[in-house]
Amino acid sequence: MGQLWGEFKSEARSSYGLYSKDVDWDAIGREKSKFKRFLFGAWGLFQAMLMKLSPARRVLLIIALVLIAIHPDFRTESGTTELNFEGLGAVILFVLLALELADRVTMKRDLEIAREIQQWLVPAHAPEIPGMDIAFATRPQNTVAGDYYDAFLRPVPVAGVGGPSLLIAVADVAGKSVPAALLMATFQASLRALAATTASLDEIVAGLERYARAHSLEGLRFTTAFLAEINLNTREMTYVNCGHNDPILRRASGQIERLTTGGPPLGLPAFTDNELPYMSGHTRLVPGDLLFVFTDGVVEAVNEKGEEYREDRLLPCVSSATGSAANVLSKVMTEVNTFVGYARQHDDITALVLRVTA
């Protein structure tokens, strides 16, 4: 029962948030009478709910509520009831519920198909690379997500690298659900296409920036990203942080470093007239080092009290985690889940862990 009640409260709070944002609470708050504030608030919420329906269904809902509220009865001369309009109102409400459920089921089926397609775009399993232990996990806020993660060997040698290289990427498209998911798919396609050439990481980022600028809807759909290329022979890592949450690099000694070098998010309108240079950072990985890359959904996860998880909880968790990359990832995700409880998820949550084993 406790779990069901917790889930119900979470869903009720989320639904209230959906409708309440369409209510003019400032105007209601100016009323001096508490009763009037309550009355106008309830009326505002009802109007917000009504506007979510199609015009035909709005009329049916109003008719049903009127019939239930007034419930007139027509009686014969003998006093028996010919028509029960209260029951008719209940039938109309049931029909409306059935229509809304049918729409929801259809939409859910379409979203599930979209989710399957999206899952084809990201790796189901981490690549097996000698000396590297990789794990990743994602949890969409909705059925589909705007977060992206990837880790793959580049198919062609890159000039100056002198051997095989591993490319890792974690990105977050602004927004949620289907629009963000569609742009995530184009980001994935662009990254894979550029990575299949001999372009350096700097050139890949420049190409992604040009594409993002052309499809960002004047900056409404910008993308934050962290991209890194690791020379598997020397363990030299080149990275670019494009306005993303600073990844955590836990050295074998336990020291924590943050990977901040890069530039702003991809696709910001302020830079549409000029080519935007991105700085690249360089570091060398050694056995025992652990890289933790995450999206803002991790640190901005909110519990039932409205508190965010924040980095001051994430850093100690990553610092103390031991074992394989999967164990580290599991510990962080479990701690985030425990902190959030039954609260409705507000953003996509994605994390990638890379541990150097040799």
CB atoms within 10 A of CB 308: 14
User: Any alpha helices (H) in the chain, and if so which ranges?
Assistant: 2-20, 25-29, 34-51, 55-70, 85-121, 177-195, 201-214, 296-299, 311-320, 325-340
Identify the pLDDT of residue 51: 81
Question: Which of 193, 266, 199 lies closest to 229, judged by CA?
Answer: 199
Identify the pLDDT of residue 9: 65
Count Cβ atoms within 10 A of the Cβ of residue 192 and give its class: 0-12 exposed, 13-18 middle, 19 or more buried: middle
Give the pairing type, strands 262-263 and 236-242. parallel
Identify the pLDDT of residue 247: 97
Residue partners of 182: CB distance under 8 A and separation at least 6: none
Identify the pLDDT of residue 270: 59
CB atoms within 10 A of CB 253: 9
Fold of 123-356: Phosphatase 2c; domain 1 (3.60.40)
Which residues of the chain are modeled with pLDDT < 50?
272
Enter the pTM of the model.
0.74
CA distance 238 to 276: 19
Identify the pLDDT of residue 272: 47
CB 149 within 8 A of CB 125: no
Identify the pLDDT of residue 129: 92
Q: Where in the chain is the domain with CATH 3.60.40.10?
A: 123-356
CA-to-CA dists, residue 329 to 246, 320, 354, 355, angstroms: 17, 12, 10, 11
CA distance 116 to 322: 33
